[in-house]
């Protein structure tokens, strides 16, 4: 693994081996599905409003910073939406991008707190299969990206993801203000739609490289990113149907509508 990986990140925290990250992900699943609910079984739910207020500010700021850093590059003339090779050099810009990729990986680990807060507040209905898979898989997936390809074409999905998370955590932040702010939270369904839409854009952006043999970007990671986006889109489709009782807007466009018989 070290022979094939990016030499620059080998000594960075948690980058030497996949096992610490795998242990963290498996521990997360064990805590939120078994140990946590068992611990809270005979206890009262914790009031975490102050913590969640600060936590959501932190996530909006963290994701906002990563989004700003990423979008400033992807909207510049030096980045190509069609093909962006990885710069494995130790130039200041290449190292900056690699460092941002590592911070994105750390961001995925901090998101474990989303589910931990559900456990401590005894909101077990919110701990859906989609939620656990999404949070439990992402750190491990991003670890491989940082280990082998910290930069280039694959950073596009991270930029979109952090942008969507700024919107999502802003929603959660408003929700911490209590019932008097409920009238401002009418856009929950649209946040889910935005999440699904960004997976579609990631799929298109990733798989376009299958038709561009001249792009110096490993095809393994084209499939790695694209298949993850497809998987999460399908999970979010089921979640959307369960939550709102109908198909997501993008799916509804392609579904056949029953013909109305004329009287």
Over residues 110-148, the pLDDT tens digits come to 999 999 999 999 998 889 888 899 999 999 999 999 999
Annotation says 131 is catalytic = no
Q: Classify the C-alpha dihedral 130-132-133-139 as positive or negative.
A: positive
DSSP per position, the chain:
-TTTS-GGGTTSTT-S-SHHHHHHHHHHHHIIIIIHHHHHTTSPPP--HHHHHHHHHHHHHHHHHHHHHHHHHHTSTT--SS------S-SHHHHHHHHHHHHHHHHHHHTHHHHHHHHHTT-GGG--HHHHHHHHHHHHHHHHHHHH--SGGGHHHHHHHHHHHHHHHHHHHHHTT-GGGGGG-TTHHHHHHHHHHHHHHHHHHHHGGGG-TT--S-HHHHHHHHHHHHHHHHHHHHHHHHHHSS--HHHHTTSPPPPPPP-
Q: Taking residues 60-77, what's their average pLDDT?
A: 95
Instruction: Let me know: does 238 contact 130? Beta carbons within 8 Å.
Output: yes
**What pLDDT score does 257 carry?**
55
Q: Is the pLDDT of residue 188 over 90?
A: no
Active-site residue identified among 3, 134, 165, 190:
134
CB count in 10 Å sphere of residue 3: 5
Torsion sign (Cα): 181, 182, 188, 189: negative
Give the model's pLDDT for residue 199: 94
The model's pTM is 0.91
Mean pLDDT in the chain? Answer: 90
């Amino acid at each position: 693994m070290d022979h094939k990986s990016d030499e620059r990140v080998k000594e960075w925290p948690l980058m030497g081996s996949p096992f610490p990250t795998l242990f963290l992900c498996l521990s997360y699943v064990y805590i939120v599905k078994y140990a946590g609910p068992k611990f809270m079984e005979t206890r009262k739910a914790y009031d975490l409003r102050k913590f969640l207020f600060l936590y959501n500010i932190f996530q909006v700021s963290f994701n906002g910073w990563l989004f700003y850093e990423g979008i400033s590059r992807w909207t510049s003339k030096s980045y190509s939406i069609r093909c962006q090779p990885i710069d494995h050099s130790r130039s200041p810009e290449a190292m900056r991008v690699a460092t941002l990729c590592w911070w994105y990986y750390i961001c995925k680990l901090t998101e474990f707190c989303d589910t931990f807060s559900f456990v401590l507040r005894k909101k077990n209905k919110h701990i859906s299969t989609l939620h656990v898979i999404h949070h439990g898989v992402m750190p491990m997936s991003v670890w491989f990206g940082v280990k082998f390809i910290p930069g280039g074409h694959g950073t596009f999905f991270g930029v979109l993801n952090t942008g969507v998370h700024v919107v999502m955590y802003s929603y959660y932040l408003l929700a911490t203000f209590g019932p008097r702010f409920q009238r401002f939270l009418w856009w929950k369904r649209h946040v889910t739609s935005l999440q699904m839409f960004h997976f579609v854009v990631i799929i298109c952006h990733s798989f376009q490289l299958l038709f561009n043999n001249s792009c110096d970007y490993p095809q393994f990671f084209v499939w790695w990113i694209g298949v993850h986006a497809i998987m999460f889109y399908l999970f979010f489709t089921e979640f959307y149907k369960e939550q709102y009782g109908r198909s997501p807007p993008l799916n509804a466009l392609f579904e056949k509508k029953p013909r109305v018989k004329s009287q």
